[in-house]
Structure 1
């Protein structure tokens, strides 16, 4: 079989294409470098405290709701505690909840064990600032200010108006608070205290400088039923501290491992904020390496860096814990 031999024209075309690709790559890198030179990467450090236990181990009787304390006591005594809609302890994989009782440390969580079909009132608001207000007594009585409402309704209006303002506009809204575009009255106590859920209710509400039309509908929900779980995880403060270090500390290093210039970077960050634009100094690069932030050094800085900056970030420097934050800021900001 005759081996393939490219013609001179094919060979030159291949070389030219490779050159263009390589040049495009270089130009792309130069463009990224130019963009990065216009931005400052800022590092801030804030001391956490003496131990991680002080931050992450909760005293349920003082720092959490009565329902959390009741759930913990019930399960610890061998009982079963369930709740609808609201998760006991509000524990998540990102923010686990721990507590201590009689020298034993527990992780508090919950599992879904059932589903419930139910109906809840939903308050939605729509902007009525452009509507003409009739000055008759009847129309005047149908408009209230949010400050005149019971606390439960004032909170509902504050949340629902965020949905009204976001509707049709570019931008976000706190969808963790907003549900179905409004505010959901879930508790019986809320419904009993409300002045917006009865038959004789106002048609409009004023919140700050805007007037909103009130719409209340009763809608069907399918909600999970949660069972509280309590799991022992440590029998001593040292064991608990090790668990928290493994869970929350991103990087740890010592003063002696860094150059004097790198230590100055951290000292400046501890006192307020430290920043540089790309390309970074050797000292700043040493600090970023020690923090395992390679994306700021080796990757596509514009796209890769910062993707892991969600949630709480902690490092340990000379046996002291610090919350840290890395963020890009446009020069001049």
Structure 2
């Protein structure tokens, strides 16, 4: 393969050994951004490949007996039998955003989902913590140590502390844990066992060597009611794998269909990453076409490249899956 512009082929020259040397000696810029209106070598397009294994089922299909408390095995059983099982406030089958959840039972694979079928009103205790300053009245000796509290209270203090720590500071609080600036008690057993919620409960608590003032309110919530849905989709591991491929995998690439130089691009991307400036070598262009990333080739890359977004982010190469990313970097 010929190349009239060797300055843009930083990693192909001399194979993978030279690729590693070139990467160490020449490619130390890592500022993210779109191509500028300057020399071609001002920007490079970087490709990285991360191994995602030889099967998708291991990560995508849940064994509910090992899934943890956020998964509702009883809801799964009811949905399989066609019964109407509902949960309030929380979904029975949490999953990643925009990704369906799957589970297997006795050789049958199910797609799990939930639908909102009602709204429920509920009143829950809310624990908030506030830092103590010199103007606060009270005896710090009366503060209880977090470790001496029941388990439900310990969990509540840990989460409410995250909100107290964030007040007036950048960084925010963990979404899904902190609610209304504190911790919301929803578990009946934790409420019954709580010392912090008792009428004669402590006014202060010590956590991580800091004394906090305790505030407890009882507030009205309007919560969705979810009905679990379990739809059978496959009766074999191979069929389930095909479903997951159809849902998540873009390009399917056979190494025999690539040139030697193009295979070296993939090998470099699998290890330390690969990058070139525009216009790209024949090998890099072949890889971008094989990944169905033609916008990086067919558009005005130097002018409009900053608006180009990577399409599918998972490919199958030979017998393995890879998650990839493409991004422009300043040299």
TM band (smaller chain): 0.7 to 0.9
2:111 aligned with 1:112, yes or no?
Answer: no
Structure scoring higher RCO (CA < 8 A, sep ≥ 6) equals 2
2:64 aligned with 1:60, yes or no?
Answer: yes
Q: Distance in 2 between matches of 1:123 and 1:35?
A: 58
- Deviation, 1:301, is 3.8
Change in CA separation of 1:314 and 1:40 when aligned onto 2, cut-off 3 Å: closer
| Larger fraction in helix | 1
Which whole-Å deviations, capped at 9, do the CAs of 1:180-213 have from their partners, x for residues lacking one? Answer: 1222111112212333211233333333354433
- Whether the 8 Å CA contact 1:36–1:301 is kept in 2: the answer is no
Q: Distance in 1 between matches of 2:126 and 2:75?
A: 28
Q: Which residue of 2 aligns with 1:214?
A: 214
TM-score, reference length from structure 2 = 0.74
Q: Distance in 1 between matches of 2:42 and 2:149?
A: 53
- Deviation, 1:71, is 1.5
Alignment of 1:116-127 (within 5 A): 116-127=120-131
Which whole-Å deviations, capped at 9, do the CAs of 1:48-100 have from their partners, x for residues lacking one? Answer: 2x322232122222334496222222222332211111211124662312122
- Whether the 8 Å CA contact 2:205–2:214 is kept in 1: the answer is yes
Q: Which residue of 1 aligns with 2:46?
A: 41
Larger-gyration structure (1/2)? 1
| Equivalent residue in structure 1 for 2:85, among 81, 86, 89 | 81
- Deviation, 1:263, is 2.0
Q: CA RMSD in A?
A: 3.3
For structure 2, list consecutive stretches of 5 or more residues without a partner in the other structure. 1-33
Change in CA separation of 1:269 and 1:123 when aligned onto 2, cut-off 3 Å: farther
Q: Which residue of 1 aligns with 2:275?
A: 276
SS of residue matched to 1:31: coil
- Deviation, 1:257, is 3.2
- Deviation, 1:118, is 0.4
For structure 1, list consecutive stretches of 5 or more residues without a partner in the other structure. 1-28
Which whole-Å deviations, capped at 9, do the CAs of 1:275-294 have from their partners, x for residues lacking one? Answer: 43644753445434433345
- Deviation, 1:221, is 0.3
Q: Which residue of 1 aligns with 2:227?
A: 227
Change in CA separation of 1:216 and 1:281 when aligned onto 2, cut-off 3 Å: farther
Q: Distance in 2 between matches of 1:73 and 1:30?
A: 53
Pick which of 182-191 and 197-206 moved more. Answer: 197-206
Q: Distance in 2 between matches of 1:275 and 1:193?
A: 58
